[in-house]
Structure 1
Amino acid sequence: MVRGKTEIKRIDNDVSRRMSFVKRRAGLLKKANELAVLCDVDLGVLVFSDHGAGAGQPSDYCSPHTSWSELIQRYETITNVQLQDTYDDEDEDADDQMFMFKEIVGLRRERDRLQASLRRQTGEDLPSGATKEELDTLDQQLELALAKVRERKDKLMDQQLDESYHKVTVIL
């Protein structure tokens, strides 16, 4: 079955346009992630919708090993175009927005770092040529984590056993 060529023009039906946006946005962000991972490039994609439940809310993707502020700084350096700090220093709303932006960037960077750490610890991010030493280190980390989980489980079971024993002695 062959699809016909889609004419690129604005979709008139509002519901169809919103659905197309949602589907294509997901595909765009997925492709951005694939490009960043497969080609080891730093990229950012920012999309705003003017309609629907999330009107005005951005959908964004930033490469796992970089941040929006780093991407913007690199862009500004290369193109000599200033994107940040274009507001009046007296404007408190702009200061609050910049503070929130920096907080969000920091939190995303921390999230990305933790996700990368989790992928390494679960073995998902292992290179095909991992050395024996790297695998031994990962094995030791997993053993330590497993020991902590078992210790916590035993502690909880002991507490529950003590509570049950206490309830039985109170009833008798």
Structure 2
Amino acid sequence: MVRGKTQMKRIENETSRQVTFSKRRSGLLKKAFELSVLCDAEIALIVFSPKGRLYEYSSSSITETIERYEKNAKEIGSTCRSGLIHKQNNKEEDASMKKKIEQLENSKRKLLGDGLEPCSLDELQKLEEQLHKSLSFIRSRKNRLFIEKIEQLKESERKLEEENAELREKSDVVQNPLDSTSLVPGELKEQEVDTQLFIGLPETRKNHRK
């Protein structure tokens, strides 16, 4: 005979309900015992019957297990609350950042000349003042950069002049290695060069010169 699927609802018949409670309670206590032995788990089981009778099982001490459960429950609850608070804070920060970004984008568009139609006279005057301040800052920054560039060019010019002076000194030394005043008179003599063409023995050439 095939056993039908049990419907998960309250058994109306009191006798059947009590029989089912007794059977399932015993099975539940047995499974708790097997789980504690096989898996070395700390288990505490508390069951109250419909008439208020207490049934319990504990692998060690049910009081210590309950205290441990309460401690962990507090820690988990505290962690959950902290997580919820942190999450809420993040949502608020995100909303604030989005609002600031929208304001900056609107201000940027207005500074570029877009979306000025709904602006009042006071808002337009504030935008004008902001533009003047920005232009003043830009001019100041540009002038400061010009001055720094001019100083750099002057420094480069000074270094180039020093290098040119050194090169001129080296060039003068190479072009005049000896001073003409250091020559002793009579050291430079004219050399006679025989430009005549003569064919014959060397002795004959000497006689010819005479």
Normalised to the residue count of structure 2, the TM-score between the two structures is 0.34
The one of the two structures with greater contact order (alpha-carbon pairs below 8 A, sep at least 6) is 1
In terms of fraction of residues, the more helix-rich structure is 2
- Structure number with greater Rg is 2
